[in-house]
Amino acid sequence: MSLSLAYDAHTEIGLVRTNNQDSAFVSPRMLMVADGMGGAAAGDLASAVATWELEKTDADLAARLEAARAEREASPDAVAHDEDAGSLTDVLTVMASTLAHANEKIVELVEDDPSLAGMGTTVCGFVLHDDRLAVVNIGDSRAYLVRDGQLHRVTRDHSWVQTLVDEGRITEAEALDHPHRHLVLRVLNGSSQHEPDLGWLDIAEGDRLLVCSDGLCGLVTDAAIAEVATTGAPRPEVIEQLVALAHAAGGYDNITMVLADVVADAPSGVTEAIGAAAIVTLPSEAERTITQLPVVAPDAAADAAADDRAMTEEERYALQGRRGMATRVKVLLLFLVPLLALVAGGGAWYGYTQTQFFVGPNHANVAVYRGVPDQVLGLPLSTLVETDETLIENLPPYYAERVRGNIRVESLQSARTTVVELRQKAAECVAQREARARASASPTPAPDATGSPSPDPGAPSPGASAPTPGATPTWPSPAPSAMETDTSLSPTPGVTPTSPPVGQEC
């Protein structure tokens, strides 16, 4: 018996928006939601680009998995895996590559048409492989698991308000009305720093899965979603009721969701892309922005040459005294015009630098600066805006070096978002160092009568299989009730996060 997915998908504009920037993709192996952002900067195009990349991966998944397996086995740093563990690793590798390709496509589109700058998209969902689900998430769209009548949140939002909830500064209900609830810290927007969360979820027949954009979860609490999602009603009826909840909360955003049941040996469902991915198209070459240099009109050049030829020899070689004043004015203009242009250009350039921001060091702390980290004639071209409590020494070495080298950003808001991410990295790093300190401070077990050290109670018993090198820890078990899950935001059992990127270890 093998597990399969029976699913339904829904997307709509909502009650306020004028266009749908959400996309979704469903197939027997893949359930994905992408929420575009950027307004006039083509959020719908961003979500469509990500969805098209997911669609290509789904159609060619077997070949991509085989290529990932071959590359893994050929790597000089290859770690010994059993067949199942290696296969799971290959799926995560393929999904990470898919999102990276989508990110690169967004970069190319913005380079071709700068008016698209600022567009981005979330991506969230599941990939079914060998009766398990790969979990993919970047942004603030959300994935849930319904099991035994309880709703569990599988993913963690990459948003500013989520950090406040995690720190206990606000509740989930307060996050729905927070003035910065739309500030997303990680999305696919062309930034190479924004990496998705990848993990695994163990599933069983009878589980129900929900993937949605923040048009639902950004307006409705998990407790309210649980009241509808855990009833066991048919999927179309549940979707209708969830949409009604979003409408009752204002329907301010596009509403997209995929609802699926884990079943045994069910017929394959349809494969389709809905929302923006089914409507928008890539801009053609003619539609992209083209900048042209000004061209001097041929007639004007001919007229100037004719005037020059019309000058008589007497006028051309007249004594200096007869036109000395005009000459002095011309000389003065020849000197002043370049000087004024230089001053104006310098002023314009300095004005431009003051619209820039970067994150850099202020003594031992992380700080935000306006301007650029350069000097002219010994004078700095930047001013300190604010200093954060984050100590540079608490950051992982990779991020500490980036701060010391100054991280350039596009706006003050982007700078503050970067500081929040650095604050999180520092907190995680401090926690890791403290854990290592506690571990090293624990006493060494006394040797037994034979002189051998006592067995470690945490070590595997003889004959047990050793942990796979490089394997990632299993996320903690979910809270026993949907209401507790709403407040603690704990991951679901069986989901394993990926290892930290190289250079980010503490």
Full 3-state SS string of 331-360: HHHHHHHHHHHHHHHHHHHHHHHCCCEEEE
Beta bridge partners of 380: 375
pLDDT of residue 346: 58
The string of pLDDT tens digits covering residues 9-47 is: 999 999 999 999 999 999 999 999 999 998 556 899 999
Dihedral angle of Cα 385, 391, 393, 397, to the nearest 10 degrees? -60
> Mean pLDDT, to the nearest integer, of 429-454?
68
> Mean pLDDT, to the nearest integer, of 82-101?
88
Domain-embedded: residue 463: no
Q: Same structural domain for residues 75 and 176? A: yes
Q: Same structural domain for residues 379 and 242? A: no
pLDDT at 56 over 50: yes
Query: Which residue matches tokens 């799926």?
Result: 91
CA distance 298 to 295: 9
Q: Same structural domain for residues 73 and 172? A: yes
Token pair recorded at residue 67: 């290529």
Helix orientation angle between 222-229 and 235-248, rounded to the nearest 10 degrees: 150
Domain-embedded: residue 240: yes
Residue 291: pLDDT band (50, 70, 90) is very low
> Mean pLDDT, to the nearest integer, of 142-156?
97
Percent of the chain with pLDDT over 70: 72
pLDDT of residue 437: 85
Q: Same structural domain for residues 11 and 142? A: yes
Q: Same structural domain for residues 482 and 381? A: no
H or E segment to which residue 238 belongs: helix 235-248
Domain that holds residue 166: 3-282+474-488
Question: 480 burial class (0-12, 13-18, 19+ CB within 10 angstroms)?
Answer: exposed
pLDDT of residue 265: 83
Q: Same structural domain for residues 265 and 386? A: no
Residue 499: pLDDT band (50, 70, 90) is very low
Q: Same structural domain for residues 140 and 55? A: yes
Q: Same structural domain for residues 67 and 129? A: yes
Better-predicted residue by pLDDT, 193 or 146? 146
Domain-embedded: residue 292: no
pLDDT of residue 298: 41
pLDDT of residue 152: 97
> Mean pLDDT, to the nearest integer, of 331-348?
64
Domain-embedded: residue 150: yes
Q: Same structural domain for residues 138 and 230? A: yes
The string of pLDDT tens digits covering residues 120-135 is: 999 999 999 999 999 9
Token pair recorded at residue 121: 């998209």
> Mean pLDDT, to the nearest integer, of 354-380?
86
> Mean pLDDT, to the nearest integer, of 331-339?
66
Domain-embedded: residue 465: no
Domain-embedded: residue 454: no
Considering only 3-12, 150-159, 432-441, which range has the smallest mean pLDDT?
A: 432-441
Summary mean pLDDT of the chain: 80
pLDDT of residue 337: 67
Better-predicted residue by pLDDT, 483 or 506? 506
Percent of the chain with pLDDT over 90: 52
pLDDT of residue 1: 73
pLDDT of residue 484: 34
pTM of the model: 0.60
CATH code, 64: 3.60.40.10
Residue 224: pLDDT band (50, 70, 90) is very high
Better-predicted residue by pLDDT, 346 or 256? 256
Residue 488: pLDDT band (50, 70, 90) is very low
pLDDT of residue 504: 53
Domain-embedded: residue 107: yes
CB 392 within 8 A of CB 403: yes
Q: How far is CA 205 from CA 131, 148, 202, 340, in A?
A: 10, 11, 11, 77
Q: How many domains does the chain have?
A: 2
> Mean pLDDT, to the nearest integer, of 283-312?
44
Q: Same structural domain for residues 15 and 112? A: yes
CB 279 within 8 A of CB 51: no
Residue 463: pLDDT band (50, 70, 90) is very low
Residue 457: pLDDT band (50, 70, 90) is very low
Q: Same structural domain for residues 246 and 386? A: no
Q: Same structural domain for residues 44 and 123? A: yes
Domain-embedded: residue 272: yes
